Amino acid sequence: MAAAAAPGALGSLRAGRARLAAACCVRWRLGPGARLPGSWRGPRVAPAVWARGWACAAGGSAPRRGYGSDVRPEDELRVRHLDAENRGIVVLGINRAYAKNSFSKNLIKMLSKAVDALKSDKKVRTIIVRSEVPGVFCAGADLKERVKMNPSEVGPFVSKIRAVINEIANLPVPTIAAIDGLALGGGLELALACDIRVAASSAKMGLVETKLAIIPGGGGTQRLPRAIGVSLAKELIFSARVLDGQEAKAVGLISHVLEQNPEGDAAYRKALDLAREFLPQGPIAMRVAKLAINQGMEVDLVTGLAIEEACYAQTIPTKDRLEGLLAFKEKRSPRYKGE
């Protein structure tokens, strides 16, 4: 009798989970003028002063970088809102050359502040995370700062790093990590939190924490297995192995690998190309698609399909959907407003 009742019970459980997922999507009110978890309304991040250290690259499509050893604390993270044909793309540029872009208390604070503002900005369409330092993306935690901490301070600080990386992972718009150099430990965990990763073939990346008798603490033990599979992720973490761009592409850690260019920003240029591909699409649809994928990957297929159905329903009453149909009928490019 118990065996016969099991399928029905399982069906009821799945149905209940599906209803719960659908209710959650409805609760998030993803329709016109609504907001995803973490709301995208609110003030924009105030752009940093970019005149120093930036010059127009060939063709004006990608900025060249300037570097110095006298970087002020407020310049360790530069937030740049692109304009003209790139309007809607925001670039987060890490700029701690003297410390290989490692995570300091100040940098984590700045990242948290920037991400908090970006998730509230409806005009943001895609975010690129890059380095402004040649040959390095992010070397992980600032060990020189870490060694000065009391043991009681280490745990809370690692929790702050984990929280910021989680905030980046939960941004409602597409995110791209442009890895043009070294991405170790927390640096790779930062890249893993992004939706898409591109890298130069000369880049080096790995979760190397076991060499220091610790483990990845910024989500690496969870996100790496989801990206490349459990067995291979264990192998890489247990061995603290470092991969180059070609090896990372072969195992599925990154989506694209590029030969590095003389400017040292091949990955960034590819990230910018991808971001431009995303710009013409419906803003609400992009945000809801990301939500459906992210939530669906954490549940069984039945629940995932219910999440997709609930999310799709939120696009139906939008003005953007009607604009898309009208543009198709009139054989012109749509003019989406995120409404």
Catalytic choice (186, 217, 264, 296): 186
Of 189, 203, 206, 220, catalytic: 189
Cα(295)–Cα(81) distance, rounded to whole angstroms?
A: 28
Q: Is 209 a catalytic residue?
A: yes
Rounded to an integer, what distance in angstroms lies between the CA atom of residue 107 and that of residue 101? 9
Q: 203 catalytic, yes or no?
A: no
User: CA 149 to CA 127: how far, in whole Å?
Assistant: 32
Q: Is 16 a catalytic residue?
A: no
* Active-site residue, 42 included: no
Kindly list the catalytic residues: 141, 186, 189, 209
